[in-house]
Amino acid sequence: MKKTSLVIMAAGIGSRFGGGIKQLEPLGPNGEVIMEYSIHDALEAGFNKVVFIIRKEMEDYFKEVVGDKISSICEVAYAYQNIEDLPAGFTNPPERKKPWGTGQAVLSCKGIVNEPFMVINADDYYGKEAFKSIHDFLVSENEPIKEYNFAMAGFILKNTLSDNGGVTRGVCSDKDGYLTNVVETGNLVKTATGAGVANEDGTVTPIDENVYVSMNMWGLTPDFIDLLEGGFIEFLSDPNLNQLKGEYLLPGVIGELVTSGKASVKILETNDKWFGVTYGEDKYAVKEEFLKLHANGTYPKTLY
């Protein structure tokens, strides 16, 4: 069996969520956290290694809640995202409090992930379909199209919006099933007619609710991690970068590879409905959704 890893980004700081560590919020009927469902679906799809990207200070609690449980059923490894972990010649601004984004997160896996992998957010529920589609892509003998050949789960925007406020999504353009551009777009909200982007002046700019969006669910190859290293140096060298809030983000990196002609990204459409905990208020709806998924047999009474 070909080795494939599920990489879970769990080091982020949920500034809109409120108190506690949102990635470890118990939301399932038996106290499960969201990433436990993702792990269940990934193992079912054929992934055989799980890599957790966390902050070092949360390690003991993380292992107590999730890590030790998962290490008893499959191979587990840890990568640590550290705000101070920058390339030689760069220093972290003392006022900066949050990590440098999802690109830095995956870069922390250098030397740990040496096989095809899928990367996801810890606090998003994706449904089963995309795990199977991306795993099948990673293990198949795909004819190389570009220098880098990746895949992404193409969620439908209307299936990824929150009832409690604006969300950020990578809004995608495509041609013949392949990504042509991805634009990180914030303040995406539900509207009476579908979806839109909420502007600072209170207006809302309509957007097609059926457009593909990236939910940071990518099928990647290990050479992508090496590529991230050089890209991070370029990012930090940008004189226009806001060093206090700027983030090195996967959609931006991958989008640039696509537009420069270096990478192909196959869009694997999924019609599953996303849910997650962007806001503290989201957790009540998420608990109800998990109750339904256990009741209808999507998941067994206990996951593991």
Nearest Cα to Cα of residue 124 among 282, 294, 277 = 277
63 φ/ψ angles, rounded to the nearest 5 degrees: -65, -35
What pLDDT is recorded for position 256? 94
User: Could you list the mean pLDDT of each consecutive 10-residue stretch along the chain, which spans 304 residues?
Assistant: 94 52 89 97 98 94 95 97 93 88 96 98 95 96 87 96 89 95 92 95 95 95 96 91 88 93 96 86 92 97 90
Task: Find out whether 291 and 37 touch, Cβ atoms under 8 Å.
Answer: no
What pLDDT is recorded for position 241? 83
Task: Find out whether 106 and 79 touch, Cβ atoms under 8 Å.
Answer: no
Task: Find out whether 49 and 3 touch, Cβ atoms under 8 Å.
Answer: yes
Q: Which amino acid, one-letter code, is at 221?
A: T
Q: Round to whole Å and give the CA distance between 283 and 148.
A: 38
172 φ/ψ angles, rounded to the nearest 5 degrees: -110, 150
What pLDDT is recorded for position 21? 74
Domains, the chain, ordered by start: 5-295 (3.90.550.10)
What pLDDT is recorded for position 20? 52
- DSSP per residue, the chain: ----EEEEE-----TTT-SS-GGG---STTS--HHHHHHHHHHHHT--EEEEEE-GGGHHHHIIIIIHHHHTTSEEEEEE--TT---TT----TT--S---HHHHHHTTTTT--S-EEEEETTEE--SHHHHHHHHHHHS-PPP-SSEEEEEEEEEGGGS-BTTB-EEEEEEEEETTEEEEEEEEEEEEEETTEEEEE-TTS-EEEE-TTSEEE-S-EEE-THHHHHHHHHHHHHHH-TT--TTT----HHHHHHHHHHTTSEEEEEEEE-PPPEE-SSTTHHHHHHHHHHHHHHTTSS-SS--
How far is the CA of 212 from the CAs of 66, 200, 261, in angstroms?
31, 24, 20
Task: Find out whether 154 and 205 touch, Cβ atoms under 8 Å.
Answer: no
Q: Hey, how many other C-beta atoms are within 10 angstroms of the C-beta on 106? A: 27
Chain segment 40-91, per-residue pLDDT in tens: 999 999 999 999 999 999 999 999 999 999 999 999 999 999 999 999 999 9
